[in-house]
Structure 1
Amino acid sequence: MADVTHVYDKPPQGANADWTIPQQWERFSADEHGMWDRLFARQSAMLPGRAADAFMRGIDLLKLEQPGIPDYRALNARLMAATGWQVVAVPGLVPDAVFFDHLANRRFPAGNFIRSPEQLDYLQEPDVFHDVFGHVPMLADPVFADYMVAYGKGGLRSLGFGALHKLARLYWYTVEFGLIEEAGGLRIYGAGIVSSYGESLFALNDPSPNRIRFDLLRLMRSAYRIDDYQQSYFVIPSIEHLLKVTVETDFAPLYAQLEQLPDIAIADIIPSDQVITRGTQQYAQRRR
């Protein structure tokens, strides 16, 4: 399993033109369901008090605590009733334009495979646990659901500006690795954090990373890493604020402005930053 890739250059055999495939829930093995249960038990035991209220509500509303990989027929009935979204199975990573079109139409593409035991703590390609446990609970929140639609529509527009690499940073630092100010402290809501045991602890408790208040222009100038825990996290004051900024911003002049500004290195803090935590960066230095 560890050597199997789920990256394709065209829809594989059996996939539709939009890269969707039947989930075929009945074909998941007992071991695969067991892996979901193992991951779910580990994360759900440590996320209360760490994860955003919207995420925890989503877990309950969608009944993800039921054993085994969720059957999308039942999951989508609950999700559609909440926000009009649905989960669609895909064989792996899909092209950007396809991904954005799904989001713009309230469809979340989820990889139709689950990690192997040797990939318990890390895998490069998002599997069904990352996609469904990590992402889908937030899609049960009406405000975040609207943000994801706005992002999908903005993603399609960004392709015409050659600015995808800039807009990708917004997704990375919010949808995947976002923090939120809540309950007098910080909570996690990004899927890349809530689906990872190690980063769920690191993002909130470790002295190493920077934690910086959300600023759209600053964030879109910021490099990120895909191979380890983040060296900086951006903190939103609320989901409503994230949606408002995204919807009200004219991204065309923003992209032009970004072209004239240098990128900001992963661990750097700049004078205009509103810093919540200035990290030591010791973790990254040890890893190097």
Structure 2
Amino acid sequence: MAEETHVLDRPPEGANADWTIPQHWDRYTAEEHATWDTLFARQAKLLPGRASNAWLKGLDVLKLDKPGIPDFEALSDRLMKLTGWQVVAVPGLVPDDVFFDHMANRRFVAGNFIRRPDQLDYLQEPDVFHDVFGHVPMLADPVFADYLAAYGRGGQRALGLDALQYLGRLYWYTVEFGLIAEPEGLRIYGAGIVSSFSESRFALEDPSPNRIAFDMARVMRTEYRIDDFQQNYFVIPSFEELLRQTVETDFAPLYAEMKARADIPVAEIVPGDTVLTHGTQDHARSRAAG
């Protein structure tokens, strides 16, 4: 499965109109299951004390510690009983309208392929490990599950307002690379961090990045990078507050405001920021010099 390309412009042969496909769990090879187990073992050892309580609880209640790539059908059965979500297999990245429709209806799309053993530390496309290990534990949390469904509905509205780049930044800095302030300290809940061996340490412990209190408009103006560690992380006070801001915000005028203002470059601190950690930006400078 890992040899295929997963960036497509139309559903492949055999896919449904909504881009879903069978997971074909029985077709995974012993090597592919072993790759999952290797990735799982090193992240599961690393994340206690770093991942949010909600993520760790989700990992436990969904029984993701069972060896081998999870069966989406069994996983969905457990999720449905907890929050009404299910996991559906797709062949790769899907169009925005398809993505938002699934999310609004509590269907989480997940790639059914897994990276090769020589790609353990970086994969440009999200695979089954990123999608299931990274994202799915948070779907067991009722508040975050409601946030994602609300985000999906917001995405459907944003399609008609030419505002996807702003909503995409919200997803990036929360669902993928979000931090939360818990009584014990800052913790990770974003899937892009919890599924990364290196960034799960960098995001919390490295002096380079800024860590800034979450502000909806600020986040939606902020550029991000896809080719390296983040230089801004935004910290929410609680999942309840993230959900409240999402459902209570009138996004149409907010999008209009965003279009009238300049984007904020990566790593920049701006007036009004509540800066929890002012980063040294040493990592960014070393990468630029290289």
| Alignment TM-score, normalising by the size of structure 1 | 0.99
Residue in structure 1 matched with residue 245 of structure 2 by the alignment: 245
Deviation per residue, 1:169-206 (Å, 9 max, x gap): 00000000000000231000000000001000000000
Aligned to 1:35: 35
User: Does residue 101 of structure 2 align to residue 101 of structure 1?
Assistant: yes
Alpha-carbon distance in structure 2 between the residues aligned to 1:230 and 1:147: 23
**Distance verdict in 2 for CA 1:2–1:20, change over 3 Å:** closer
Aligned counterpart, 1:220? 220
Secondary structure of the residue that 1:207 maps to in structure 2? coil
Q: Distance in 2 between matches of 1:194 and 1:117?
A: 19
Please give the secondary structure, in 2, of the residue aligned with 1:219.
helix
* Other-structure match for 2:199: 199
Residue 179 (1) aligns with residue 176 (2): no
Letter in 1 for 2:188: I
Report the alpha carbon displacement of residue 74 of structure 1 after superposing the two structures with TM.
1.2
Q: Write out aligned runs for 1:24-173 (5 A).
A: 24-173=24-173
Q: CA deviation at 1:250?
A: 0.3
What CA deviation, in whole Å up to 9, does each residue of 1:123-142 have, x standing for no partner?
10000000000000000000
Which amino acid letter does the alignment assign opposite residue 17 of structure 2? A
Distance 1:287 1:233 in 2: 18
Aligned partners of 1:33 and 1:2: how far apart in 2? 12
Checking the alignment, whether the CA contact within 8 Å between 2:2 and 2:114 is kept in structure 1 is: no
3-state SS, counterpart of residue 16 of structure 1 = coil
SS at match of 2:123: coil
* Matched letter for residue 258 of structure 1: M
**Poorly superposed stretches of 4+, deviation over 6 Å:** none
Runs of 5+ consecutive residues of structure 1 not aligned to the other structure: none
Contact kept? 1:2, 1:119, Cα under 8 Å: no
Aligned partners of 1:47, 1:118: CA distance in 2, in Å?
Answer: 22
Report the AA paired with residue 240 of structure 1: E
Distance 1:271 1:184 in 2: 28
Number of the residue aligned with 1:271: 271
- Two-structure CA RMSD over aligned residues (Å): 0.9
Contact 1:2 1:118 in 2 (8 A): no
DSSP-derived class of the 1:197 partner? coil
Structure 2 CA distance, aligned partners of 1:162 and 1:239?
A: 27
Alpha-carbon separation, structure 2, partners of 1:92 and 1:42:
25
Shift of 1:73: 1.7
1:146-190 deviations in whole A, cap 9, x for unaligned?
000000000010010000011100000000000000023100000
Asked whether the equivalents of residues 2 and 113 of structure 2 are also in contact (C-alpha less than 8 Å), the reply is: no
State the Cα distance separating 1:3 from its structure 2 match: 6.2
Displacement of 1:4 after TM fit?
3.5
C-alpha separation between the residues in 2 aligned to 1:227 and 1:279?
A: 19
**Structure 2: distance between partners of 1:14 and 1:183:** 49
What is the alpha-carbon distance in structure 2 between the residues aligned to residue 73 and residue 110 of structure 1?
12
Normalising by structure 2, report the TM-score. 0.98
Moved more, 180-189 or 123-132: 180-189
- Where 1:39 maps in the other structure, the secondary structure is helix
Aligned pairs, how many? Answer: 288
